[in-house]
Amino acid sequence: MSGMTTATVAARPATRPAVLILLGPPGAGKGTQARMLEERFGLVQLSTGDLLRAAVAQGTEAGRAAKAVMEAGGLVSDEIVLAILRDRMAAPDVARGVILDGFPRTDVQAAALDDLLCEAGQEVTAAIALVVDDEAMIARVAGRYTCAGCGEGYHDSFKVPARAGVCDRCGGTAFRRRADDTAETAGARLAAYHAQTAPLIAYYEGRGVLQRIDAMGTIDEIGADLADIVSRVSA
């Protein structure tokens, strides 16, 4: 693979749990890679998209407010996202270390994360930017589906179950597709990414914790590059 990883990651006391951020546009592979890292390193994947979809499914007040915004491909308000994130970060399993998937997405969220970590005597270990082409992202998003039982992610062309119609991970046979995984909504999500989230790459670069990965390769190639980084910064 690329070997395009850059930047020096600041040394961190070994006793602190890792706080890793995956940055990248919709379809970059954040969720796919976060689940692989979770299994390999025992870290906890924390996806604000998953937390918001759960709130929508449960019909909570936050979920009702977020639903239309998500279906249109916009960003949910910082207030709602931060309330959900704070709740999740307070859970005991987070002490194992986290992979933040889809958070932060705005400068307000990045500052709030810094404050939250500071209160806990922690800091961002590494922010990893998955670098991809916009055109390829539409194809990845449009072909995506997940297991209804365990959430394992698949793709019509790029990642199919070993046995057709049966989840590799849990054996489930029911699958679903996201309401916002249309070519039209993916365009709006990409626009939101470039306007509000991509500037965070420079923010973390200035902090000396940014790593870049060429994420146009195969899932396994990207996974190997990511594992190298995580091994290094978690050592």
Q: Which residues contact ligand AP5 (rule: CB under 6 A)?
A: 24, 26-32, 47-49, 52, 69-70, 73-76, 81, 102-103, 105, 109, 140-141, 143-144, 153-155, 158-159, 189, 218-219, 222
* H or E segment and range at residue 91: none
**Which stretches of 2-47 are DSSP H helices?**
30-41
Active-site residue 105, yes or no? yes
Active-site residue 30, yes or no? yes
For residue 74, give the nearest of 205, 215, 201, 190 by alpha carbon. Answer: 190
Q: How far is the CB of 235 from ligand AP5 (least distance, A)?
A: 26
Catalytic choice (12, 30, 35, 88): 30
Q: How far is the CB of 129 from ligand AP5 (least distance, A)?
A: 12
Active-site residue 144, yes or no? yes
CA angle, 151 as apex, 103 and 143 as ends, to 5°?
A: 85
Active-site residue 159, yes or no? no
- CA dist list (Å): 111 to 6, 50, 78, 118, 120: 23, 22, 11, 11, 15
Q: Which two tokens stand for residue 13?
A: 């006391």
Beta carbon nearer to ligand AP5, 9 or 158:
158
Catalytic choice (35, 88, 144, 212): 144
Q: Which residues are catalytic?
A: 30, 105, 144, 177, 189
